[in-house]
Structure 1
Amino acid sequence: MASTTDNPADDWADEDKAVADPAKRRPISRLTILRAIAELRLWWREGVVADLDHIATIERVRGESLLTSRYVFMTAMSAGIAILGLLLSSPAVVIGAMLLSPLMNPIIGTGFSLATGDADWLRRCGKALVAGSIFAILFCALIVFFSPLQTVTEEIAARTRPNLFDLLVALFSALAGSYAVIRGREGTIVGVAIATALMPPLAVVGFGLATLNWTVFAGALGLFITNLVTIGLTAAIMARLYGFQSDLSHRQSRLQSIVMAAVFITLAVPLGFSLRTIAWEANGQRIVNQEVAAAFTDRARVDQPIVNWDTEPVAVSASVFTPEFNPNADTEVARRLEQRLGRAVIATIDQFQVGTDPGAAEQAALAQARAREAAEASERQIAALGQNLALIAGVERKDVLLDRENQRAQAVARPLDGLGLSGYRELERRLERTTPGWTVELRPPLVSLPEIIVGEEGLDTRNAAQVALVGWAAERTGVRVTLTGSESALATVTQALGTTSSRVDTRQSGNENTVTASWSTAATAQD
């Protein structure tokens, strides 16, 4: 008769099934969790915090975080290199500025002073931060003010729209910097991490101030303040975690922690919405690219569409090089984009017909890209011309007239001490040479006109130049000039003036060789 004893293999299978069944697992008790937390805290306190020399660390950080002449000088040099890198749109130059930036020291000191409750130390660190920041902004503004390059580059624009990712960059930089300082391993690389979040926005604030571009100024200032607060509070939290205690009571310490958390949340919420908007626009740009390309054949080439998200409806414009026209492209693209974006859209698509050769569209697109680059370079050159003309004339940029159709630039100069007519004319010539094809007209003030000597053989080189200068002044100012001299001398000078002689009045005197030039009395009084 067979045995009725159960098979051991079956018993093991039942046990495995019981273990695999979540309902039959033994839950982790609350006591186990508390014991694990207590052991972790004990390890952190005795294995990590106890090895630190807190007093030496505080003294080292305190000594490096105060306002000194070296700190101001290095901040200025770092800011100067940063703004030049931003104007040139050169990331390598911007990184070079970060290598010099000393901003890590006072901001880490701010965090430690918050953690230890040292009000006097906090005040000194704040003084160093404010002084360094203001000096850097003014120094950058001074460089931009005298710079011929004042265009908002990609590097500048990237620092004018803070979002949650910028806060995370500041957070990770602060964690790295605080850890290195606490463990005594700070150095240049750690300073670069902090400067990444602070120095470029600070330089952009100076750019916005110099160009009176308040959109750039406000955006960069918001990014700088966000990063500054984030780094300071993160440094304070790290210092408290590593046992740098304050004299505050338990209740005051808890209140301080709540305030720090509230500040982080206050900063993170609007930056999160900003990041969401940026992400939506980036995805929207991808959708626009897809829909514009889908409206044409595979042989067509689409130039990068331009989307204005701030208008209602959204405005989309693009250039397409295609062997076959699509007369309904505007309405088709607008309808598809409205369905996918959920917003009203107006599409304007410029179609350029190219040959059926497979490479014709690419060649046309490349030609237009080159033409666009040339046009942008020309616009930058024209903008520089207007700015420089305003500078040498001593007037506001809005007082300079730029006639693009006739390629003519005009400005009325203010009197400058010690500068005569020849100086104004030379400034006009120099500026005209910087922009080929353009005519520069600088109206000089009614300063003294030169005296002309007519020799027996007529005008020598020097006096011929004086006559030309008188004629130039009469044309630029529109004011009549009176020439006084002998009949023969006046005839020689009038002949040399050519067509400009119509702007000149003559008056005979007994002096045979000298002709004096003066502004019309009525015109001078009226002016």
Structure 2
Amino acid sequence: MQSEPTSDAAVSASTAQPDNSSTTSARPTRGFAEVLATFRGWWGHDVTGTVDQIAVIEKRRSEGQLSARYLLMVSMSAGIAILGLLLSSPAVVIGAMLLSPLMDPIMGVGFALATGDFKWLRQSGKSLAIGTLFAIVFCALIVVISPLQTVTSEIAARTRPNLFDLAVAFFSAVAGAYAMIRGREGTIVGVAIATALMPPLAVVGFGLATLNGTVFWGSLFLFITNLTAIALTATAMARIYGFSTSLSEKQTQWQAILIFAAFVALAIPLFLSLRQIVWESQATRQASNVVMEVFGGRATVSQLEPSFETDPMQVTATVLTPEIIGDAESRAQALLSRQLDRPVEVSLTQLRVGTSAQAAEEAQLARARAQERDALEQARNIADRLSLLAGVPVEEVTVDRDRRRALVTAKPLDGATMDAYAELERRIDATEPEWDIRLTPPVRPLPPITFEQVPAEGDEPARWAMTAQGARAVALAAWAQNRLGLPITVSGSAEAVAIVRNAFSHHNLSVTTRESGNGYAPVTVSWSPQGSD
């Protein structure tokens, strides 16, 4: 029994010894916790703390209400969309995207789910449901009375949604929710074009009017994909930005689980659709290669149309060949069936072409004429889109096909900021990388340039620098000055103005300065008196 005190003493001594291994293993954990706490503090104070939640919610609530103006814009957007689809005109369809007001109630649904405001949720859901049904019926009526009821390429493109469509809707919703929360309204123009809410609804109306089930259900699934992704992403963004909510912690956890489950439920059929599209693309390429192989590489496949819905699969092609081959169809059919591992029926129309020098010259001239027609069509397409986005007749768009340059002066639009005009130019310029697209905006106010203090790092002391938003304001002012050619005046403290003047010099732009006061308050950027309206 004398051993017990000894044992207790040994235990006490052992306990008194520092456990280096535990200390060492705990140190990274405490370091990570400190970093996490710092990040949470920064996010709560400098990011979410700067958001005027009441103003954001009130604006979203008012813009998502059911009203006569809302239904008017829905009908106008739907009418433009279905006519653009029937005419297979991308420029007209883009116009419908810009007019569509459906983004507001969808965002309202997302924010209402995040805040737990079920009255707002019912209001937004009612506006969305009525607007959706109104658009479908309106488009169906137009199709019924229209002499054009053919499935165009623009209509067919919206009947097979895939995983990429979900990704586009997700990224667009992140950008849209961020723009609404942070007040970057100019970004909404690009989001409206990217998400394309109205065109799928117009295709749903087309499918209803023509009793085409494939078109109806395919386009409806695309709209549901966009709607769900936008609403749920807006919910997640609102929660990330700390919008106050009446939901309990358990309800919040269930909300996160349901959002994740909804995205997974959408992703599975969209992934299967994408896999089928990829297989069809590969099968079409294999079919073309097989036909070329049968003709020894001397023929040209001018038209190849596979049909994947039939059993067996059918491939119809027109071949320009210097020599007619009698068993070409059977040989191509055997080769392609073996490569695709499924029955295939091949139907070839062989057109014999000459091999003389004159025939080669004629073919070369035909290609040149075709290239000229394509270039002319591209120029007309660019002019149509610019005239639509700028709000001017197409005759006021200047297009130089030789230099690949297009110029237009935009018409003033109510509520459009300078950033909105810059976004319009960026959007159309991105679709035509080989062209120099220039949109001259009307004179609009320029955003202020803000500053923040950069913490000390190493031997470098703390300093003041422009915020990311301030840098974007400088770039926007430089773009606007380049388009308008008007002088700019920068007003603020001497320290802040010096930083701004240096930033403008990197854009090869000199500005007039007005210095007053001290510190790093936001710098005002304005047009000089001769540049005002």
Q: TM-score range by the shorter chain?
A: 0.5 to 0.7
Residue 346 (structure 1) shift: 2.2
Q: Which residue of 1 aligns with 2:343?
A: 344
Residue 288 (structure 1) shift: 1.1
Q: Which residue of 1 aligns with 2:320?
A: 321
Is 1:130 paired with 2:129? yes
Q: Which residue of 2 aligns with 1:353?
A: 352
Write the letter of the residue equivalent to 1:234.
T
Residue 27 (structure 1) shift: 13
Cα distance change on mapping 1:58 and 1:191 into 2, 3 Å: farther
Q: Which residue of 2 aligns with 1:23?
A: none
Is 1:72 paired with 2:62? no
Cα distance change on mapping 1:213 and 1:70 into 2, 3 Å: same
Write the letter of the residue equivalent to 2:350.
Q
1-side partners of 2:292 and 2:98: how far apart? Answer: 45
CA RMSD, 1 decimal: 2.5
Residue 366 (structure 1) shift: 7.6
Cα distance change on mapping 1:114 and 1:360 into 2, 3 Å: same
Write the letter of the residue equivalent to 2:299.
A
2-side partners of 1:270 and 1:27: how far apart? Answer: 45
Is 1:214 paired with 2:213? yes
Deviations 1:324-371 (A, max 9, x none): 12233223222322333222222222222232226748869989xx9x
The residue correspondences of 1:253-332 to structure 2 (distance < 5 A) are 253-332=252-331
TM-score scaled by length of structure 1: 0.61
Q: Which residue of 2 aligns with 1:457?
A: none
Tell me the secondary structure at the aligned position of residue 315 of structure 1: strand
2-side partners of 1:338 and 1:28: how far apart? Answer: 64
8 A contact 2:98–2:192 mirrored in 1: no
Q: Which residue of 2 aligns with 1:223?
A: 222
Deviations 1:146-174 (A, max 9, x none): 11111110000111111111111211221
Write the letter of the residue equivalent to 2:312.
P
Percent identity at matched positions? 57
The residue correspondences of 1:371-450 to structure 2 (distance < 5 A) are none
The residue correspondences of 1:134-213 to structure 2 (distance < 5 A) are 134-187=133-186, 189-190=188-189, 193=192, 196-213=195-212
2-side partners of 1:200 and 1:222: how far apart? Answer: 13
Deviations 1:358-391 (A, max 9, x none): 6748869989xx9xxxxxxxxxxxxxxxxxxxxx
Tell me the secondary structure at the aligned position of residue 196 of structure 2: helix
Q: Which moved more, 1:218-227 or 1:309-318?
A: 309-318
Residue 121 (structure 1) shift: 0.3
Tell me the secondary structure at the aligned position of residue 197 of structure 2: helix
Cα distance change on mapping 1:72 and 1:81 into 2, 3 Å: same
Is 1:42 paired with 2:41? yes
Write the letter of the residue equivalent to 1:305.
L
Cα distance change on mapping 1:358 and 1:231 into 2, 3 Å: farther
2-side partners of 1:299 and 1:62: how far apart? Answer: 66
Tell me the secondary structure at the aligned position of residue 304 of structure 1: strand
Cα distance change on mapping 1:366 and 1:338 into 2, 3 Å: farther
8 A contact 2:176–2:191 mirrored in 1: no
Residue 296 (structure 1) shift: 1.3
2-side partners of 1:184 and 1:45: how far apart? Answer: 18
8 A contact 1:161–1:219 mirrored in 2: yes
8 A contact 1:141–1:206 mirrored in 2: yes
Is 1:334 paired with 2:333? yes
8 A contact 2:97–2:196 mirrored in 1: no
TM-score scaled by length of structure 2: 0.61
Write the letter of the residue equivalent to 1:202.
L
Is 1:110 paired with 2:109? yes
8 A contact 2:110–2:234 mirrored in 1: yes
8 A contact 1:104–1:195 mirrored in 2: no
1-side partners of 2:162 and 2:357: how far apart? Answer: 43
Tell me the secondary structure at the aligned position of residue 310 of structure 1: coil
8 A contact 2:175–2:187 mirrored in 1: no
Cα distance change on mapping 1:248 and 1:358 into 2, 3 Å: farther
Residue 196 (structure 1) shift: 3.6
Tell me the secondary structure at the aligned position of residue 283 of structure 1: helix
The residue correspondences of 1:240-259 to structure 2 (distance < 5 A) are 240-259=239-258
2-side partners of 1:301 and 1:270: how far apart? Answer: 37
8 A contact 1:306–1:317 mirrored in 2: yes
2-side partners of 1:195 and 1:124: how far apart? Answer: 26
Deviations 1:25-66 (A, max 9, x none): x99944444443333222211220011111121111111111
Deviations 1:474-523 (A, max 9, x none): xxxxxxxxxxxxxxxxxxxxxxxxxxxxxxxxxxxxxxxxxxxxxxxxxx
1-side partners of 2:28 and 2:191: how far apart? Answer: 46
- For structure 1, the residue ranges without an aligned partner over 5 or more in a row are 1-25, 371-527
Q: Which residue of 1 aligns with 2:98?
A: 99
8 A contact 1:163–1:271 mirrored in 2: yes
Residue 244 (structure 1) shift: 0.8
Write the letter of the residue equivalent to 2:176.
G
Report which of the two structures shows the higher radius of gyration computed on alpha carbons. 1
Cα distance change on mapping 1:317 and 1:195 into 2, 3 Å: closer
8 A contact 2:98–2:189 mirrored in 1: no
Residue 278 (structure 1) shift: 0.3
2-side partners of 1:282 and 1:325: how far apart? Answer: 28
Cα distance change on mapping 1:363 and 1:181 into 2, 3 Å: same
